[in-house]
Amino acid sequence: MFARILLGFLLKSIPSDLRRRLAVHLGVPDIRWSLRQLRRFGFVPNNIMDVGAFRGDWTKICLEIFPDASITCVEPQDGLQDTLRELAERHPNIHIIQTLLGRSVNNNVRFDEQGPGSSVLLSSTSGTVKAMTTIDKLTESKLCNAPELLKLDAQGYEIEILEGYTKYFDTCQVIQCELSLLPLVPQAPLLAEVVAYFQNRGFVMFDVEEIIHSPSDGAVWQIDALFCRADSYLRNQRAWIKEV
């Protein structure tokens, strides 16, 4: 017990950036590392979409790695708009759209706002009423360009959102998606179903960015994974043994 307390104290005394780099060196999944790998392999998107942007943390990482990209942050929650607008004011290549995304347009969708756990799937008669549109409609309306890099964090609604991204889907090359191993939201698909859906759309998983553990017992609950097209050069150029 004393050793564990001492270890925790020592880890807290290390600057957070150094802790992150040490973790990457030890093989721990890391979002920054994975996105930097994309750039190192030659993937530099012009248009990025952050669906479920929340406070913009993922967008800020993208700004570090892809500073010239146009980034669209899509976030329906009222209480987060000021934070996102402040971010956009500092970075003119960031654009904010407050809406729900799904497979169709619907101006009367119940949405239960619970911070990072907010979801359409949680609502029945409770929650606020929000407008829903599709990625295709946003693109057709010139509110944004079709994203080459798409991040989805919608608490189980990811497949529904992708069903609304069909007309311009050929533009998309890489998708970051949250996958659940254990039920988190009623009706939300689990990892196997989402991976199969991606495969039907011509995408395969090729990297794991983050492992999320349950605070109650430490079990692996979710992962954030990167998907790319099955014939993507991001997969074809990799080799197990590095050539000298």
Domain architecture of the chain: domains with CATH? 23-236 (3.40.50.150)
Report the candidate in 242, 236, 234 with the shortest Cα–Cα distance to residue 37: 234
Q: Which H or E run contains 210?
A: strand 203-213
pTM above 0.75, yes or no: yes
Residue 111 is which amino acid?
Answer: F
Cα–Cα distance for residue pair 235/135, rounded to 1 Å: 26
What are the backbone dihedrals phi and psi of residue 145, each rounded to the nearest 5 degrees, phi first? -90, 155
Mean residue pLDDT of the chain comes to 86
Contact 76, 58 (CB under 8 A): no
112: DSSP letter: B
**What mean pLDDT comes out for the span 87-109?**
95
Extract the tokens encoding 208: 């794991």
Model pLDDT, residue 116: 61
Cα–Cα distance for residue pair 209/104, rounded to 1 Å: 30
- Tens of pLDDT, residues 33-45: 999 999 999 999 9
Cβ atoms < 10 Å from Cβ of 200 = 8
